Amino acid sequence: MFHSVKTKLLIPLVVLIFISLVLSFMLSYSRMRSAILDQEQVTYRNMESIVRNDLEAVFTSTRMGLASVVNMPEVQQAFAQRDREKLLQLTMPIFAEAKKEGIEQFQFHLAPAISFLRLHQPAKYGDDLSSFRATVVQCNNTKQTVAGLEEGKGGFGFRVVTPVFYQGRHVGSAEYGMGFNNRLLLKWQKQIGGDFFMYPYASSGVAWAKIDKDKPLAGTAEKDELKVPVEEIKAAMSGKGFRTVYLQNGAVAAVIIPVFDYSGKPISYVKANLDRTKVLNELTKVLRDSIIHLVLSVLVMGLIMYLLIGKILKPLDKLTGEIAVVAQGDLTRDFHIQGHDEIARLGQKFNTMLLNFRQLIGETVTVANKLKGSSESLSRSSEETSASVQEATEQIDKLAYSLNDLGNIAQDTAQYSQRVAQAAEEGQQAVQQAINQMTVLHHMVEGLAADTGGLGYKIEDINKFVQLIGDIADQTNLLALNAAIEAARAGEHGQGFSVVAQEVRKLADRSNQAARDVKQIIKEISEQSENVICSMDAGLNEVKTGRALIERTGEKFNHIRDLVDSLVQQSQAVAAASAQANLSGSEIAAATQQQSAAVQQVAGEAHLLNQLSQDLLDQIGKFKSNASADNQPA
C-alpha cells in the first residue's frame, strides 16, 4: 500500500496541509486567546480606576468637609485667640456628625506641628508632632492643603490637613483623620466580585503597635487564603499601575494595586482575589472549537486530495492493466484516454505500437501460410514423382511407353518449382517489409522513451515547488524567532505569545522536514522514471533482437530459394534425362536411378521447408491478434 505513487503523493500533501492548518489554527487561537486575556486585563484596569477614584473621592469629601469647618469665622477667631474651650464647644457637635461618616480624628495644630486641640482626646494637647507627622509640617510650611495616606501613632490612616487663616493671617492647621475599615472594600466586592484586602507595605515604626506586613489592615474576608510571593509584591510596588499574579495554576488571579502616601511613595496596597473560572471556560471553549474545526478541515482536505489524486492516476492504473494483458500475448487490446497530458500521449504511443505489431504479425502469418502451402504442394509433387520412378524401376520394360509421361511430370515439377521459387521470393519481400516495420517500431519506442523522459522535467518542477515550501518554512522559522524575541521584550504579557512562537517555530521545522521528505519521494519517483527509461532501453534492445531474428528468417528464405533453384535445376535435369532416354535405351536405368535420387532430395528439401513454415506459425501463434486469427489455415 505504501509503495504506490498515490500513497507517496497523498501522505506528504496531507502532512503539508495539516501543518498549514495547524499553523493557521495556532495563530487564530493565539489571537482569540490574546483578545480574551486583553479583555481580562481591561477589566482589571477598570477595577484599578474604580479603586483609585473611590480613594480620591474619600479625600475629596473629607477635604470639603474640613474646609467647611475651618472657613467658619467663629472657629477661625477662637483658634486665632487660642481659646481652646470655645473652640471645643464650636467643633465638638461637628465632630459628632463627622464620626457618622467615618471620621475618627479631628484636631487643630500650631505651627510647625504642635497639638493644640484633639477633639477625640480633648485632655491631651501641647505635644510636638513634627517628628512623625510630616503632613502637618508640610501643610504649615506651604500653607496648602495636604491629603494622603500616612502612618501615625495609631497606625495607618487617611489624613487631610488644611491651613487655617484669620483675617488673612495664618494661625495654624486643622486635620481630619480616618482609619482603615472595610466599607470601601465591601463596595468594591459588590461591584466587581471576589475578595478585597488592604495591606501595609512601608512602615516608619512610629506606630505604638508593630505593623505586620503579612496581616491585612482591612478585608472582606476574615482570612486571606491566597499568598503572593514577596518578589511579586515588590515588583508591583515598584510601578505605578496594577500587577496581576496568577495562582493555583491560573485558576485565580491576585491583582495588586499600589496605594501612595501624600508624597507619592508606595505605603500600602489593595489586593483583590478574583476567580478566573469564566475566563478559563472561554479559553477552553475557544480551544475546543478550534480543534474541532482543525480536525474537520484536515478530514475534508484529505478526502479531497485522495479523490483528486485517485482521479489523476486512474488512467495510469488502467494503462498498467492493459500492458499486463499485452505482456501475456493478447495484441487485440486497445487503450483510450481523453486529454493531452503525458499519460494520454503514452496511451496513444501504446496503441500505435500495438497496431504495428498486429500488422507485422498478420503479414508474417500470410507469408508463412503461403510458404507452407507451396511446400506441401512440392512435397506432394515429390511423392508423385517418387512413385512414378518406383513404378519405372519395377516396369523397366514399359519405360519407353512412359518416357513421354515422365517428361511431362518433370515439366510439371519444374513449373511447381518455379512457383515455389516465386513464393520464396514473396516471402523474402515480406521479411524485408517486416524488417522495415521493426525499424519503424524501433523509432516509435525511442519516441516513447523520450516522452517518458519528459516526466523528469515535470518532476523537476515539483521539486522546485517543494524547495519553495522549504524556503517558506525557513522564513516562518525566522518569523517565529523574531516573535519570540519580541515576546521576551514584552515580559510577562508576552509569555503566552512566546509559547505560541515556539510552537510555530517547531511546526515550521516540521514543515521543512516534510518538504525534505517530499523531495526524497520525488527523488525516488525520478529514480523510478529512470528505471522506466531503462526498461524502454531494454524493450528497444528486444526490438533490435526481433529485427535480427527476422533478418535471420530472411536468410532462411534465401536458403529456401537456393534449394528451390536447385530443385528447378534437378527437374530440368529429369526432363533432359527423359528426352535423352528416347535416344538411348541403354541409359534408361542410370537415368532412372538419377531421377529417383533427385526426387528424394526434393522431398527432403520440401519436408524441411514445411517444418520451417510450421515453426514460424507456432512462434506467431503465441500472439493473439485480429490479423493472426484471420490468417489461420482452415
pLDDT, average across residues 555-578: 70
Q: Are 226 and 216 in contact (CB under 8 A)?
A: no
Which residue did the predictor score with more confidence, 612 or 221? Answer: 221
pLDDT band at 523 (very low <50, low <70, confident <90, very high): confident
Check pLDDT > 90 for residue 377.
no
Express as a percent the part of the chain with pLDDT over 70. Answer: 75
Q: How does pLDDT run across 398-409, given as a tens digit for each residue?
A: 655 565 676 676
The model's pLDDT over 459-483, given as tens digits with 9 standing for 90+, comes to 677 667 667 777 776 777 787 778 7
Query: What is the pLDDT at residue 210?
Result: 66
Q: All 3 cell numbers of residue 374?
A: 507451396
Q: Give residue 589's pLDDT band: very low, low, confident or very high (50, 70, 90).
A: low
Q: What is the CA radius of gyration of the chain?
A: 59
Find the angle CA(370)-CA(376)-CA(380) to the nearest 5 degrees.
145
Residue in the structure block whose three cell numbers are 518532476: 459
Task: Compute the distance between CA of residue 271 and CA of residue 247 in angstroms, rounded to an integer.
Answer: 13
User: What's the rounded Cα separation, in Å, for the pair 604 and 588?
Assistant: 24
SS3 83: coil
**22 against 422, higher pLDDT:** 22
Residue 383 pLDDT: 73
Report the distance separating Cα 124 and Cα 84, nearest Å: 12
pLDDT (tens digit per residue) in 315-329: 777 777 777 777 767
Q: What is the mean pLDDT of residues 245-266?
A: 90
pLDDT at 400: 58
Question: What distance in Å separates the CA atoms of residue 305 and residue 9, rounded to the nearest whole number?
Answer: 9
Q: What pLDDT, in 10s, does the model give residues 100-135?
A: 888 888 999 999 999 999 999 999 999 998 888 889
pLDDT on residue 588: 58
- At residue 390 the predicted structure's pLDDT band, cuts being 50, 70 and 90, is confident
Give the three cell numbers for residue 345.
Answer: 500521449
Mean pLDDT, all residues of the chain? 79
Residue range 604-617: mean pLDDT, rounded: 74
Asked if 21 contacts 296 with a C-beta cutoff of 8 angstroms, the reply is no
Q: State the Cα–Cα distance between residues 362 and 555, nearest whole angstrom.
A: 20
Position 76 pLDDT exceeds 90: yes
Write out the H or E segment, with its range, that includes residue 504.
helix 495-583
Taken in order 619, 624, 630, 634, the sign of the CA dihedral is positive
Question: Three-state DSSP class for 171?
Answer: strand
Strands laid side by side in the 252-260 sheet? 218-219, 195-200, 266-275, 252-260, 243-247
- List residues bridging with 200 in a β-sheet: 268
**452 or 353: which leads in pLDDT:** 353
Q: Is the pTM of this model over 0.75?
A: no
Instruction: Reply yes or no on whether the pLDDT at 634 is more than 50.
Output: no
Predicted confidence band of residue 632 (pLDDT cuts 50, 70, 90):
low
Tell me how far apart the alpha carbons of residues 345 and 350 are, in angstroms, rounded to a whole number: 9
Handedness of CA 538, 540, 546, 548 (dihedral sign): negative
% of the chain with per-residue pLDDT over 90: 22
| Strand arrangement, sheet containing 105-110 | 114-118, 105-110, 169-179, 155-166, 146-152
Alpha-carbon distance of 72 to 86, in angstroms, equals 13
State the pLDDT at residue 507.
73
Give bridge partners of residue 152 from the DSSP assignment. 155
Name every residue whose Cβ is closer than 8 Å to that of residue 51 and which is 6 or more positions away in sequence: 188, 257, 270
Indicate the range of 62-76, 200-214, 484-498, 620-634 predicted with least confidence: 620-634
